[in-house]
Chains A and B, each alone.
Chain A
Amino acid sequence: MSTTVEQKTRPVADGRHPAVQFIKDNATLIALLVLCVGLSFADSSFFTARNLSNLARQVTIIGIISIGMTMVILIAGVDLSVGSVAGLAAIVVTMLMQYGLGTWLAVPITLVLVGGIVGLWNGWWIAHYKIPSFIITLGMLTIARGLALTLSGGSSIPVANDSFANLGGEYIGPTTSAVILVLLLGLYFYGLYRSIQQTRKFGAEVRMAEIIPSLIVVLAGIALGFYVFAGYQGIPIPVAIFGVIAFGGMYALEQTRFGRRIYALGGNEEAARLSGIDIFTTKLIVFVTVSVLAALSGILLASRLNGASPNLGTMFELDAIASVVIGGTSLAGGSGTIGGTIIGTLIIGVLNNGMSLLGVSTFYQLIIKGFIIILAVWFDVLQKRR
Chain B
Amino acid sequence: MAGEVVLQMENISKEFPGVKALDRVNFEARAGEVLALMGENGAGKSTLMKVLSGVWPYPSYTGELRVRGELKQFANTREAEHAGIGIIYQELNLIPELDVAENIFLDRQFTTALGRIDWNQMYSETAKLLDSLGIREFKPTDKVKSLTVGKQQMVEIAKALSMKASILVLDEPTSALSDKEVQDLFRIIRKLKADNVCMCYISHKMEEIEQIADRIVVLRDGRTIGDVTPIKEITLDQIIARMVGRDLQDLFPERGGYHRGEKILEVKDMSVDHPTLPGEKRVKPSSFSVYRGEILGIAGLMGAGRTELVEALFGAYPDRAHGSIFLDGKPVRIRSPRDAIDHGIALLTEDRKALGLFLDQSVAFNTTITSLKTISDSFLGTISRTLEARVVGEYVRKLGVKTTNIETIIKTLSGGNQQKVIIGKWLNTEPKVFILDEPTRGIDIGAKVEIYKLLHSLAEQGVAVIMISSELPEILGMSDRILVMCEGRIAGEFMRSAATKEKVMEYATGGIAA
Contact = CB atoms under 8 A, between A and B. Distances in A.
A202 B393 contact: yes
B354 interface: yes
Nearest to A334: B360
B372 A260 contact: yes
B412 interface: yes
B358 A268 contact: yes
B43 to A, nearest CB: 10
A180 B389 CA distance: 33
A322 to B, nearest CB: 23
A118 to B, nearest CB: 25
Contact of A8 (B19, B342, B355, B376): B19
A9 B338 CA distance: 33
A260 B354 contact: no
B386 interface: yes
A258 interface: yes
Contacts of B289: none
B381 A271 contact: no
Contacts of B404: 5-6, 10
B425 interface: yes
Given A3-B396, A6-B417, A274-B349, A202 B407 contact: yes
B414 to A, nearest CB: 6
B82 interface: no
A198 interface: yes
Contacts of B417: 6
A275 B425 contact: yes
Contacts of A255: 382-383
A6 B355 contact: no
Contacts of B365: 260, 263-264
Nearest to B414: A9
- Interface size on B, as a range, is 35 or more
- Interface size on A, as a range, is 35 or more
B14 to A, nearest CB: 13
B381 A256 contact: yes
A275 B337 contact: yes
The majority secondary structure among interface residues of chain A is loop
A274 B347 contact: yes
Interface in B385-405: 385-386, 389, 393, 396-397, 400-405
A84 to B, nearest CB: 31
A270 B405 contact: no
A24 interface: no
Contacts of A204: 405-407
Contacts of B393: 3, 202-203
Contacts of B338: 276-278
Contacts of A260: 365, 368-369, 372, 383
A385 interface: no
B358 A271 contact: yes
A261 B381 CA distance: 11
B251 interface: no
Q: Can you list the 5 inter-chain pairs with the closest CB atoms, starting with the nearest?
A: A1-B400, A257-B381, A12-B17, A276-B338, A256-B381
Interface of A: 1-15, 198, 201-205, 251, 255-258, 260-261, 263-264, 267-268, 270-278, 334-335
Interface of B: 16-19, 42, 314, 316, 336-338, 340-342, 347, 349, 354-361, 365, 368-370, 372-373, 376, 380-383, 385-386, 389, 393, 396-397, 400-408, 412-414, 417, 425, 429
